[in-house]
Amino acid sequence: MKLFKQSGLLLAAALITFACSKPSETVETSDAKEVAEAKGAVLAINPSATTIAWRGYKPAGQHYGEIPSTEGSIAVEGTEITGGKFTFDITGLKITDLEEGSENYGKLYGHLQSPDFFDAANHPTATFEITSVEPFAAGDVIADVEQFETENTPTAASALTPENPTHWISGNLTLRGNTKNIKFPATVMVENGAVAAKAGFNIDRTEWGLAYGDEANAVDKAKDQFIYNTVSIQLDVKAD
């Protein structure tokens, strides 16, 4: 159970850079970028209808759960998203594969909140700010990165992507005081003054300093003594 003892997302997800695709077609991570100017109507995030799911992996198993969104907004001009910002409560993280209140739940939750991972005492929240939104073109692809094979190899990015993605969304993700820009495909619907968006992608947790059990430092992976750096994130966002 050293996994989160591994880190979820969290989200999260940073991302996988795919060598076989053009830069405009890849899920990727980079340095922080200028935040997009929010234009048009500003819609408030509906926290009760918004979920941020995470899943972490190690050779011997997986852990998964959710991180609540406490507040946020999306700016919409016509039928297009122009900007947005969301805040996530790291201290409210849930582990749904374990029974809440159990000894194992408490141990894992405590380890995730510790400096080994989120360092929640100093960084109790995470934020995501949109930097750009681009159309997802017919020829765009989600290529998968090679992973060390075990019974719990992380889910491929192409399997996490929602069907018929409509946009590429880029934004600055801040975790434990570190900010990186992530880019991922999403399915976005703007209709009747409301926004619904879904996305699924992978991030490299070590990009934000969540380096406990870093698989890159595993001397002998055959001994399974590591945590995958890849964390899967799935977003379901509602705003009106």
Given a cut of 70, whether residue 73 has pLDDT beyond it is yes
Q: Give me the percent of the chain exceeding a pLDDT of 90.
A: 74
Domains of the chain: 23-239 (2.40.128.110)
Alpha-helix runs per DSSP H in the chain: 103-113, 157-160
Strands 125-135 and 94-95 turn out to be: unpaired
* pLDDT tens column, 187-229: 999 998 899 999 999 999 999 999 999 988 877 776 677 899 9
* pLDDT tens column, 117-156: 999 999 999 999 999 999 999 888 888 889 999 999 999 9
Strands 167-175 and 178-191 turn out to be: antiparallel
Given a cut of 90, whether residue 236 has pLDDT beyond it is yes
What is the residue-wise DSSP string for 100-149?
A: TTSHHHHHHHHHHHSTTTT-TTT--EEEEEEEEEEE--TT---PPPP---
Computed over every residue of the chain, the mean pLDDT equals 87
* pLDDT tens column, 13-70: 332 223 233 333 446 788 989 999 999 999 999 999 999 999 999 999 999 999 999 9
* pLDDT tens column, 155-169: 999 999 999 999 999
Q: How far apart (Å, rounded) are the C-alpha atoms in residues 91 and 148?
A: 31
